[in-house]
Amino acid sequence: MRRREFLACGTGAALSLGVPAYPVRAERALAVTRIADGVHGFAGTPALMTAANRGAICNLGFVVGRDAVAVIDSGGSVAEARALIAAIEAVTERPIRYLINTHMHPDHVFGNAAFADIGCEIIGHRNLPRALASHGDFYLANYRGAMGELMADIRIVPPSRLIDGREELDLGDRKLVLAAWRPAHTDNDLTVLDVQTGTLFAGDLCFVDHLPTLDGSLLGWIGQLDALASIGAISAIPGHGPVPSPWPEALIAQRRYFDVLTRDLRKAIAAGVPLGDAVLTAASGERSHWTLFDEYNTRNATSAFAELEWE
């Protein structure tokens, strides 16, 4: 395990010459940005998960309280998660006590084992354990090709502390408000608000620049946009997109995409256009506004069509 990591960061030659372990944490640390007092974020690459990007495609963050550090999402591999831990340790000596998962997707939870290994309590939406139990094996099998050797360390580790509704987490003179949402991006979306600085970790309830991906309920997501927008935050770390992004302005383009997608699909359904044809053109007017549009739009439209068909 160690050896593979060393090789991955290009120091394998030194290792094979018998050079003892030396501090590699600093050079391996993720490049995190200070967003506000005690709040740091990492901006993932807008891409699909691969071995080359270590699965580091979604945004991550952490909040430092007087007594403890809480981390929001663990990243797309254990290697990425360890680099995040190194970045946290470069900022503070306070104990990393909590890992909060914003939802079930591999880019957000594949690093969980690294935090379980250092004794973190893992926190998630009350539906998250069920979702990981039903999807976890598929995720592990599905990414074996793209992620290669990185998969060896990756385990599905569900949360042990579950959030239903709203709950506060006290890091010592610093309160985080955790909110569990109804089905939207997935059926297990959780947001985290750092009250002191007005920083919202929106998870994948908010995409900026990167096309939103739908794995829950389009109408559910649209129906909760006003409630999301009314969260009293100044800036947000979206699940994907610039870190930070202004709040609630970060929701504007996403809301427009959902409106266009819904309008186009309702029109097609009313005209009796079959699913296979409707999803090829739905929301095509949005293509130029988003990265990864071609990777995800047809899938979004297919999922939304099934939902809207039964209105």
Q: State the nearest-atom distance from the C-beta of 171 to Zn ion, in Å.
A: 25
Q: State the nearest-atom distance from the C-beta of 205 to Zn ion, in Å.
A: 9
Phi/psi at 247 (5° precision): -120, 135
Q: State the nearest-atom distance from the C-beta of 294 to Zn ion, in Å.
A: 18
Q: Are 133 and 109 in contact (CB under 8 A)?
A: no
Structure tokens at 291: 């990265």
> Which residues within the stretch 249-308 sit at the binding site for Zn ion (CB under 5 A)?
none
Residue (38 or 239) nearer to Zn ion, CB: 239
Separation CA 49–CA 292 (nearest Å): 12
| 66 to 105: interface string for Zn ion, x by CB under 5 A | ---------------------------------------x
Characterise 21 by phi-psi region: left (phi > 0), alpha (psi -120 to 50), beta (else): beta
Separation CA 240–CA 203 (nearest Å): 8
Residue (6 or 42) nearer to Zn ion, CB: 42
| 104 to 133: interface string for Zn ion, x by CB under 5 A | -x----------------------------
Residue (123 or 184) nearer to Zn ion, CB: 184
Residue (186 or 199) nearer to Zn ion, CB: 186
What's the half-sphere exposure (Cβ side, CA atoms, 13 Å) at 144? Answer: 7
Structure tokens at 174: 């610093």
Count of CB atoms within 10 A of residue 173's CB? Answer: 9
Stretch that binds Zn ion, among 12-20, 28-36, 196-204, 224-232 (CB under 5 A): 196-204
Q: State the nearest-atom distance from the C-beta of 239 to Zn ion, in Å.
A: 6
Stretch that binds Zn ion, among 38-46, 72-80, 175-183, 198-206 (CB under 5 A): 198-206
Beta bridge partners of 40: 34, 62
Residue (29 or 128) nearer to Zn ion, CB: 128
3-state secondary structure of 155: coil
Separation CA 148–CA 62 (nearest Å): 28
Size of the site for Zn ion (CB under 5 A): 2
Q: State the nearest-atom distance from the C-beta of 106 to Zn ion, in Å.
A: 9
Residue (187 or 204) nearer to Zn ion, CB: 204
Structure tokens at 270: 């009313």
Which residue is listed with tokens 């957000």?
Answer: 108
Report the chain's terminal Cα–Cα distance, integer Å: 51
Residue (163 or 205) nearer to Zn ion, CB: 205
Near Zn ion by CB under 5 A: residue from 73, 153, 204, 264 = 204
Residues in contact with Zn ion by CB under 5 A are 105, 204
